[in-house]
């Protein structure tokens, strides 16, 4: 076990499959054999990045990938709470442990955060070494192939935990993997009414199956008018914006009720113009940004949720390819017909 295959981002568009050294297991690390990894929207951004084009300034060469499930094969000299053979998933953000945020209970927004596959080599490889504090046990009832989805589930849960949605109305804009997980989390948190929005019929059908009482095809319907009509002119208590689409973001501000909450999850590609007076100030709208998952409160919450069996990962896994076919996997992950695409090393 000296070398392995890895999907390496070099200074070009796309990535290349290379034979590289198996990473060393540091004193505080765990070395895992990667059993399944999933492609995230942020991996796609890095994959498509080309030197000098776009905002993704990270050092290359870099092994891509952050969402994984693996089996521990080695533990570092100072690691006492993990053993070889254990199945793990991972918190994909490595906190520095020393900044203001880390020292005041907010390490998920660490000022010096390092993200797998972005600041440090990632998991689209046969083996992956990472800090043992980021390892989490694969929850009971979650299969190896579903394991990588614990990380995006954490994002969805963290977004919904920014507002009190119990017994209230929620609009979820964008039905990619995070939006569809958000529908399921909102349902489990006791939202009285969930309105899901997307441009894809197949994704809207899933949103309905996962508990959305209303689905809106934003390619054909005006989402602000529809939400106001569904809510008797009031607007919804909480908006979870997962699309990152500029127009959807401003529509989301308009469909929130007075005194409501707007949670920004998706990342617009450019600065936006918003009606601050009408949509924020006079409305007394609460706006939350969010990043990643709370370390590690969110992990306890989502583990409890999946162990109750209220989250369905299966329908979100729309393709599974061997690591060698990563190019096809990235192309599927960018097509409208797919949600999560798995890479199996
Ligand atoms: Zn991710
Ligand atoms: Zn920090």
Q: Ligand 1 centre and the CA of 194: distance in Å?
A: 24
- Report pLDDT for 50: 73
Q: Ligand 1 centre and the CA of 231: distance in Å?
A: 33
Q: Is residue 219 part of a domain?
A: yes
CB 262 within 8 A of CB 287: yes
Q: Ligand 2 centre and the CA of 29: distance in Å?
A: 18
Q: How confident is the model over 162-186, as pLDDT tens digits?
A: 999 999 999 999 999 999 999 999 9
- Report pLDDT for 56: 61
- Is 314 found in the same domain as 253? no
- Report pLDDT for 52: 58
Q: How confident is the model over 250-277, as pLDDT tens digits?
A: 999 999 999 999 999 999 888 999 999 9
Q: Is residue 158 part of a domain?
A: no
CA distance to 40, 136, 144, 250, 266, per residue, from 201 (Å): 21, 35, 29, 23, 20
- Report pLDDT for 247: 95
Q: Ligand 1 centre and the CA of 195: distance in Å?
A: 24
Six-digit token string for 236: 């919804």
Q: Is residue 261 part of a domain?
A: yes
Ramachandran area for residue 63 (φ above 0: left; ψ -120 to 50: alpha; else beta)? beta
- Report pLDDT for 145: 98
Q: Could you say which ligand is closest to the alpha carbon of residue 42?
A: 1
Number of independent structural domains in the chain = 2
- Is 220 found in the same domain as 204? yes
Q: Ligand 2 centre and the CA of 314: distance in Å?
A: 35
CATH code for the domain in which residue 87 is found = 3.90.180.10
- Is 12 found in the same domain as 141? yes
- Is 193 found in the same domain as 66? no
Domain that holds residue 179: 163-289
- Is 145 found in the same domain as 180? no
pLDDT less than 70: residues of the chain: 51-56
- Report pLDDT for 1: 74
Q: Ligand 1 centre and the CA of 268: distance in Å?
A: 16
For residue 188, the SS3 value is helix
């Amino acid at each position: 076990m000296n070398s392995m295959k890895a999907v390496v981002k070099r200074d070009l568009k796309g990535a290349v499959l290379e034979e590289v050294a198996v990473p060393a297991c540091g004193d505080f690390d765990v070395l895992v054999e990667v059993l399944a990894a999933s492609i995230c929207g942020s991996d796609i951004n890095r994959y498509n990045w080309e030197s000098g084009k776009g905002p993704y300034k990270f050092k290359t060469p870099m092994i891509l990938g952050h969402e994984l499930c693996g089996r521990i094969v080695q533990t570092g000299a100072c690691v006492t709470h993990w053993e070889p053979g254990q199945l793990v998933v991972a918190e994909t953000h490595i906190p520095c442990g020393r900044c203001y945020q880390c020292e005041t209970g907010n390490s998920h927004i660490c000022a010096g955060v390092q993200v797998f596959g972005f600041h440090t080599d990632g998991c689209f490889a046969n083996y992956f070494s990472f800090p043992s504090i980021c390892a989490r046990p694969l929850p009971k009832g979650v299969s190896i192939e579903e394991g990588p989805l614990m990380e995006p589930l954490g994002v969805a849960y963290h977004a919904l935990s920014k507002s009190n949605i119990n017994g209230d109305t929620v609009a979820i804009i964008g039905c990619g993997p995070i939006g569809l997980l958000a529908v399921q989390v909102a349902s489990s948190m006791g939202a009285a009414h969930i309105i899901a929005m997307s441009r894809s019929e197949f994704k809207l059908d899933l949103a309905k199956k996962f508990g959305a009482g209303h689905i809106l095809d934003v390619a054909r319907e005006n989402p602000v008018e529809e939400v106001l009509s569904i809510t008797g002119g009031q607007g919804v208590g909480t908006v979870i914006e997962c699309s990152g689409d500029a127009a959807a973001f401003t529509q989301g501000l308009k469909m929130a009720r007075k005194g409501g909450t707007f949670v920004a999850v998706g990342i617009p590609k450019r600065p936006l113009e918003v009606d601050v007076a009408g949509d924020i100030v006079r409305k007394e709208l609460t706006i939350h940004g969010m990043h990643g998952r709370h370390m590690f409160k969110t992990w306890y919450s989502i583990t409890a949720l999946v162990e109750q069996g209220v989250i369905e990962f299966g329908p979100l896994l729309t393709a599974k390819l061997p690591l060698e076919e990563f190019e096809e996997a990235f192309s599927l992950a960018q097509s409208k017909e797919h949600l999560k695409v798995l890479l199996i090393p």
